[in-house]
């Protein structure tokens, strides 16, 4: 079974999103968590961006030995020099070069012709390759690049020494079918470079980042660039945890594996939220508060009988401590009986019926029934229950 390399860019692309900046200590804490998670490549930063980014990149490069450490640079010598300086302490460095290739970016952003862009790409890859053994090249806005020119760039990058070539959906524009076809076309025209690993980097502007990444894998891509909690520019990047769980649950379909430790997904998500102070939406797949919470009575009944009825993966597998049966106005009696039993209260049918009636009255006002509410209700029910008749009582007078 093929292995898909996971390139974690939480510390670079993810940290660029508003509100997610981290200081040196926070960066290192998260970097260690990413290594523990099992990422193959950790992108530490964009050293030319600021002295702080350069310092953070060097700190990660010096500390992290468990995976490759990458640093980003535009196809400009000053950028490459800064990235190489950031990577100096790294045991396994990777220089990550990029330049836009779409006509839109070339005309309005770079003000360069295709020929000028091609020459810059080849020149800077050769320059970087002479100073760093492993070079990755990214064709920014690849999904909106003319396919013939894109194939020319990819071949030129491979000839110049790039062994990983990333074709990003930079603005989240592509559909899964289009994105997969782009990779198939590029691979077919790549020529005699079987050593080149194709990589995907997807943004979530249309909510398709994970779907596009999975489509790329089906098209033969063997590196995926993603972030914890899907953070990143604008609507974010492909969510690492969603991607990994999809590959695990549907391994019979995708026929690939990764080095990611699934049980570390939730802890990694929590750590990122703690560091940044920004949580994930409750309905976020895999790591959201409601990802393994069930309120509907039919669902709760199914979960109690067999979790597979409404869960495609058990919560413990991804590091979530346990599923949650939410007691509210949609809940059924079986969920109330099960939760009362967990709290130490075995109930008779009549007790359960009265508890359920009182709970529904409270739930209809829009409140979730918490454990302390349930304990209060069962105590009230038992206090109100008629006392059992005393032994020997009757109509006799004394």
Q: Where are the domains of the chain?
A: 2-276, 293-384
202: β partners = 169
Are 167 and 186 spatial neighbours (Cβ–Cβ below 8 Å)?
yes
Count other C-beta atoms under 10 Å from residue 171's C-beta: 19
Q: Which residues of 243-255 are buried (b: 16+ CB within 10 A; e: fewer)?
A: bbbbbbeeeeebe
41: β partners = 7, 68
Q: Is the pLDDT of residue 310 over 80?
A: yes
Quote the tokens at residue 360: 């529904």
pLDDT digits (tens, 9 = 90+) for 31-73: 999 999 999 999 999 999 999 999 999 999 999 999 999 999 9
Sign (positive or negative) of CA dihedral 261, 253, 214, 242: negative
Average pLDDT over all residues of the chain: 93
Q: Is the pLDDT of residue 372 over 70?
A: yes
Are 219 and 181 spatial neighbours (Cβ–Cβ below 8 Å)?
yes
pLDDT digits (tens, 9 = 90+) for 263-286: 999 999 999 999 998 999 999 999
Count other C-beta atoms under 10 Å from residue 295's C-beta: 19
Are 302 and 308 spatial neighbours (Cβ–Cβ below 8 Å)?
no
* Mean pLDDT value across residues 117-143: 98
Q: Does domain 2-276 have CATH number 3.20.20.70?
A: yes
Say what the pLDDT of residue 53 is: 93
């Amino acid at each position: 079974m093929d292995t898909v390399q996971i390139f974690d860019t939480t510390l670079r692309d993810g940290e660029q999103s508003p509100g997610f900046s981290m200081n040196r200590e926070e960066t290192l804490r998260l970097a260690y968590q990413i290594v523990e998670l099992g990422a193959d490549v950790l992108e530490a930063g964009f050293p030319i961006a600021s002295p702080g980014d350069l310092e953070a990149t060097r700190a990660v490069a010096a500390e992290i030995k468990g995976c490759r450490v990458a640093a980003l640079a535009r196809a400009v010598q000053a950028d490459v020099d800064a990235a190489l300086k950031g990577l100096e302490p790294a045991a396994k460095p990777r220089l990550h070069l990029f330049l836009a290739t779409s006509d839109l970016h070339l005309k309005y952003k770079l003000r360069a012709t295709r020929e000028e862009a091609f020459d810059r790409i080849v020149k800077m890859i050769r320059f970087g390759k002479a100073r760093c053994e492993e070079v990755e090249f990214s064709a920014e806005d690849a999904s909106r690049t003319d396919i013939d020119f894109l194939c020319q760039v990819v071949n030129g990058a491979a000839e110049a020494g790039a062994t990983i070539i990333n074709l990003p959906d930079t603005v989240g524009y592509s559909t899964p079918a289009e994105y997969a076809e782009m990779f198939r076309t590029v691979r077919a025209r790549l020529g005699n470079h079987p050593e080149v690993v194709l990589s995907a980097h997807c943004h979530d502007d249309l909510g398709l980042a994970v779907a596009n990444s999975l489509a790329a894998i089906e098209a033969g891509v063997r590196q995926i660039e993603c972030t914890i909690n899907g953070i990143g520019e604008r609507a974010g990047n492909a969510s690492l945890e969603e991607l990994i769980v999809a590959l695990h649950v549907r391994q019979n379909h995708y026929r690939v594996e990764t080095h990611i430790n699934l049980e570390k997904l939730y802890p990694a998500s929590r750590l990122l939220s703690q560091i940044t102070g920004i949580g994930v939406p409750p309905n976020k797949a895999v790591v959201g508060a409601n990802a393994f919470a069930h309120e509907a009575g039919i669902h709760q009944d199914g979960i109690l009988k067999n979790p597979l009825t409404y869960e495609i993966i058990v919560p413990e597998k991804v590091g979530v401590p346990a599923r949650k049966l939410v007691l509210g106005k949609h809940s059924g009696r079986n969920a109330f009986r099960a939760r009362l039993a967990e709290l130490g209260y075995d109930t008779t049918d009549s007790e359960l019926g009265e508890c359920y009636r009182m709970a529904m009255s409270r739930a209809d006002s829009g409140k979730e029934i918490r454990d302390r509410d349930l304990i209060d209700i069962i105590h009230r029910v038992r206090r109100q229950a008629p006392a059992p008749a005393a032994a020997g009582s009757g109509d006799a007078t004394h």
